[in-house]
Amino acid sequence: MTELHDLIATFAAIGSTGDGGVCRLTATPLDKEARDLFLREISRRGLLPRIDPIGNMFGVAVLAPASKDVVIAGSHLDSQPTGGRYDGCYGVLAGLLAVQAVRDRALDNPGTARRNLAVANWTNEEGARFQPSLTGSSVFAGSLSLEQAYACKDGDGVTLGDALAMIGYRGASPMEFEPVRYVELHVEQGDLLEGEAADIAAVSGAWMTRKISVVFEGEVSHTGPTPMGRRRDALRAAARAIEALYSEVERANAGAHAAAARISVFPNSPNVVAGRVRVWFEVRHDDEAVVLAISDRFLQRIEKEAGAIGVQISIAADEQRAAPMLDPAGFDMVRSVAGDLGMKALALKTVTGHDALAIQKRIPSSLIFVPSQGGLSHNPREFTAPEALDKGYEVLVETLWRMVTAEG
């Protein structure tokens, strides 16, 4: 679908890193530029624009004026610092065009639509600048308060509330319709679809994730004259902990995924032994018991090992995201649609977080994947073939049509 591909290319130019990738962090001037363009696209297509207080953006097509119910399709426009052009943006832009297509179909078939339809761009899905991730969708779902979301700070101490105000997207026009279902189209970010030569995945649920931020407290001292035996090196303790996490995952041999992907060092000088280090760890597995067993053993181990070299640890954050199931009826519908369209569909669970998982806490939600070449994501070389993008769009359009016209 040429229009979809052109839109993806247009948005990829906003925050382009010059190597095929995109860096478009939440509530930055580049995020504002993408949001402004999305808002123009919403208006150009005759949809009702709405922006809620956390900056979630909606474009509403009124298909059933007598109903307040609305089905929502969408994803996110923010990216990782090393983001690709498809992650999130594909779901927003395909959602925009799908809403337009379903509206046109409803106009050609008067009286068939029983619900209204909207496209959404959720604020700060990635969590690259502000933590926690899935911020806008969590506020929408009621699992995170607006005040908590506004208070999230970036590395420079700027709050999300202030940052949204600075770019003009601390909105005051929440959607007046009643959400009843949500559908998200996304690139897989893995290689299961590619390995099975499948077109589509209907996602049944997600792996459990535990994200733990650990602070290592030592003592600053000169890297030259301070005797080795007297050093309380927080960075040394952190390095041991990073290796300990991988060791515990290998020891469990259960197929868990883990990472230590962010580190903060004070005073971060080449001539000063680090006095304070913070590391962000995570463990993921489809079985909650496996995640808890690995992470609990890890915490016990690093407290002992850090103490042995005079470093104390404390837990700055410990977020446990349960392994949620997505809406079974929506899951079945996506598989049925794919089959009716002659596509090969897989059923799988997602290892990664998505807005659909947050929104499921409020309304039934569905997640649809299309293949990612080589399973590569959060990388400038992220790629999904145009024909694969088109198949995902076709499934989305038909799924939304069935959801807005179904009885009951």
195 phi, psi to nearest 5 deg: -65, -30
- What is the model's pTM? 0.89
Count CB atoms within 10 A of the CB of residue 303: 18
What is the three-class DSSP state of 194? helix
Q: Per-residue pLDDT tens, the chain, 408 aa: give them.
A: 899 999 999 999 999 999 999 999 999 999 999 999 999 999 999 999 999 999 999 999 999 999 999 999 999 999 999 999 999 999 999 999 999 999 999 999 999 999 999 999 999 999 999 999 999 999 999 999 999 999 999 999 999 999 999 999 999 999 999 999 999 999 999 999 999 999 999 999 999 999 999 999 999 999 999 999 999 999 999 999 999 999 999 999 999 999 999 999 999 999 999 999 999 999 999 999 999 999 999 999 999 999 999 999 999 999 998 888 999 999 999 999 999 999 999 999 999 999 999 999 999 999 999 999 999 999 999 999 999 999 999 999 999 999 999 987
Both 187 and 86 in one domain: the answer is yes
369 phi, psi to nearest 5 deg: -110, 145
Both 244 and 361 in one domain: the answer is no
Tokens of 54: 């956390």
Both 296 and 389 in one domain: the answer is no
Tokens of 261: 């992907």
Last residue of a domain, one of 272, 298, 321: 321
Both 33 and 148 in one domain: the answer is yes
What secondary structure letter does DSSP report for 374? G
Is the N-terminal amide bond of 132 cis, ω within 30° of 0? yes
d(CA 253, CA 133): 28
Query: Which pLDDT belongs to residue 70?
Result: 98
Tokens of 220: 């600053």
Buried b (16+ CB within 10 A) or exposed e, 318-345: eeebebbebbeebbebbbebbeeeebeb
Query: Which pLDDT belongs to residue 324?
Result: 85
Last residue of a domain, one of 283, 299, 321: 321
Both 55 and 140 in one domain: the answer is yes
Distances (CA, A) of 8 to 4, 42, 371: 6, 15, 16
Is 87 known as a binding-site position? Answer: yes
Both 80 and 164 in one domain: the answer is yes
Both 118 and 216 in one domain: the answer is no
339 phi, psi to nearest 5 deg: -65, -45
The structural domain count of the chain equals 2
- The separation between CA 318 and the C-alpha centre of its own chain, rounded to angstroms, equals 18
CATH number at residue 327: 3.40.630.10
- Closest listed residue to residue 28, CA positions, set 72, 92, 83: 83
d(CA 81, CA 10): 18
State the sign of the Cα–Cα–Cα–Cα dihedral 57, 63, 69, 71. negative
Is 186 known as a binding-site position? Answer: yes
Both 170 and 212 in one domain: the answer is no
Q: Which residues contact 229 (CB under 8 A, 6 or more apart)?
A: none
Distances (CA, A) of 332 to 91, 347, 359, 399: 20, 10, 18, 10
Both 332 and 316 in one domain: the answer is no
52 phi, psi to nearest 5 deg: -90, 175
Inter-axis angle of helices 386-405 and 328-340, nearest 10: 120
Both 156 and 137 in one domain: the answer is yes
- Closest listed residue to residue 70, CA positions, set 115, 107, 101: 115
d(CA 149, CA 9): 31
Query: Which pLDDT belongs to residue 30?
Result: 98
Both 375 and 351 in one domain: the answer is yes
Query: Which pLDDT belongs to residue 1?
Result: 81
Both 141 and 246 in one domain: the answer is no
Last residue of a domain, one of 321, 345, 377: 321
Tokens of 51: 């922006």
Q: Which domain holds residue 231?
A: 208-321
Query: Which pLDDT belongs to residue 321?
Result: 86
Query: Which pLDDT belongs to residue 408?
Result: 76
d(CA 160, CA 151): 6
Is 285 known as a binding-site position? Answer: no
CATH number at residue 273: 3.30.70.360
